Structure 1
Amino acid sequence: MPDSNERLVPRLRLKAGHAIALGPGKAQLLELIQQHRSISAAARALKMSYRRAWLLVDTMNTCFQKPLVLTATGGNQGGGAELSEEGLKVLMLYRQYEKAVAERPELVELATLLRDKPAP
């Protein structure tokens, strides 16, 4: 039986048609965009290319009714990005959903059925 401190961690992905509208990586990207106020800085923090981060943002903005990330182009003031009200709400709801699933009794029971030492 797994150590009582060890838990199963669900990785939730929300699909909209064939696209993944939101998942753990995109949620982390949203948090870092809000923290750094920049897609490029968030991408660097995740060790991913700006292009990859931009494509993920574009997918999220396309999947939801309103954009989750708002951007400002460069210039004298420099560019930047931040989460829209919708983006903040979606991120909060996603994190609440993750927490609720992680606390489900079924997940706790599944954890008790794991081997002591899972295969590498």
Structure 2
Amino acid sequence: MASSEPRQKLWIEIDGELVMSDYRVRLLELVGETGSLSEAASALGLSYRRAWGKVKEIEANLGRALVRSEVGGAGGGRTLLTPEAEELVIAYRRFQQRVEDDLEGAYEAELRDLLASP
């Protein structure tokens, strides 16, 4: 018997401008984990320039800074998330989980039996 599962893509817009999506949040998460926009970009298969542009676009659409750079010595500098960015990432992931839970419940209630093999 074939298995069926609901799928969804989630993003947040403000005044029609894309602010948050799984992809953009993952970029921020990787910056937070690695302390490096370059490493985060590489992990997602992006150029540094494209990743930097995405971060700046999110910041412009939100109207607030999400990353800060620290100039380093021999070990080099690093890029860190602002406390507000850390909070946004955590809140987005909680929101995403709630949507997924609601989606699964609605699917179970409305469609699973109808889509089951005869």
What is the TM-score with the length of structure 1 in the denominator?
0.79
- State the partner residue of 2:69: 71
Larger Rg: 2
Q: Is 1:106 matched with 2:112?
A: no
**Alignment-mate amino acid for residue 57 of structure 2:** T
Q: Tell me, which stretches of 5 or more residues in structure 1 are unaligned? A: none
TM-score, normalised relative to structure 2: 0.80
Greater RCO structure (CA 8 Å; 6+ sep): 1
Alignment: residue pair count: 114
- The percentage of counterpart residues that share the same residue type is 28
Greater Cα shift, 31-40 or 65-74: 65-74
Which residue of the other structure, out of 14, 18, 28, is the alignment partner of 1:16?
A: 14
In structure 1, how many angstroms separate the alpha carbons of the residues matched to 2:116 and 2:52? 40
* Cα distance in 1 for residues equivalent to 2:107 and 2:2: 13
Structure (1 or 2) with the greater helix fraction: 2
Name structure 2 gaps, 5 residues minimum.
none
Q: Supply the distance in 1 between the matched residues of 2:109 and 2:46 (Cα, whole angstroms).
A: 36
Q: What is the Cα-based RMSD across aligned positions, in Å?
A: 2.5
User: What's the counterpart of residue 25 of structure 2?
Assistant: 27
